Amino acid sequence: MNDKEFFQFIDRCIAFQSEVGSLVSRLSPVPEVRFMTAFQSGLITLEHSTAVLQLIRSGLFASGFSLFRPQFENLVRGIWLLYAATDKTVENLAQPLSPESVSKANDLPMLSRMLEKLEKSEAPAAIVAQLQQYKEATWKSMNSYAHGGIHPLARTLSGYPAQLTYEAMRNSNAVTALTSQLMAILSGNPDNMPAVRTLHNDFLDCLPIAGS
């Protein structure tokens, strides 16, 4: 991939995120605490998605790559809140910030535990499988970038090849796409899902496609 192709791809990513933002801005969660709290987690995921794109577009690659992990974790958190978290945990996370509410929220499960809970829940099996596959493929490198490991240290010297960044951004866009699907589910209106599917189909060139 040459520089021209890479920047054309970045322009498509910008268009993709703009369409996702427009779609999500028209959605509201079911007015129940579980749905509302999961929706907030989805909004955080999309904020990280925007930040990733802006940082990478500005040449701040290490900072952009460091957000892949919290972007993914907030997506998983949102799906876990909807399908697997206990009522008490959801209630604790919906409280305003205070020393007491922070203390009650300190025992949240880590990513692997949330995925285990989701496997035993009523969450769509296909989505859970995608989350597991994503974790298996990217977890070590995401941790390295998030915690100042060998990946960002080495890339600071060798640089970030366009092909590497292209693949990383497609993975990030996949998280964004799944988040848009989650937000439509949280609206409680099945009529919102066709627009999500159309969006995904319109931007297949921005997403990791099996067999590509």
Rg (CA), the chain: 17
Q: What is the mean pLDDT of residues 139-157?
A: 97
Helix, strand, coil share of the chain (percent; to 5): 80, 0, 20
Lookup result for tokens 């300190």: 106
Lookup result for tokens 């697997």: 84
Q: Decide: 38 and 76 in contact? Cβ < 8 Å.
A: no
pLDDT score at 90: 97
> How far is residue 34's CA from residue 81's CA, in Å, rounded to a whole number?
7
Residue 133 burial (CB count, 10 A): 10
Q: Decide: 9 and 67 in contact? Cβ < 8 Å.
A: no
pLDDT digits (tens, 9 = 90+) for 3-62: 899 999 999 999 999 999 999 999 999 999 999 999 999 999 999 999 999 999 999 999
pLDDT score at 212: 30
End-to-end Cα spacing for the chain:
15
Name the residue among 66, 85, 86 with its Cα closest to residue 76: 85
pLDDT digits (tens, 9 = 90+) for 63-116: 999 999 999 999 999 999 999 999 999 999 999 999 999 998 888 999 999 999
Q: Decide: 194 and 91 in contact? Cβ < 8 Å.
A: no
Quote the pTM value: 0.94
pLDDT score at 209: 59
Portion of the chain with pLDDT greater than 90, in percent: 94
- Dihedral pair phi/psi, residue 189, rounded to 5°: -115, 110
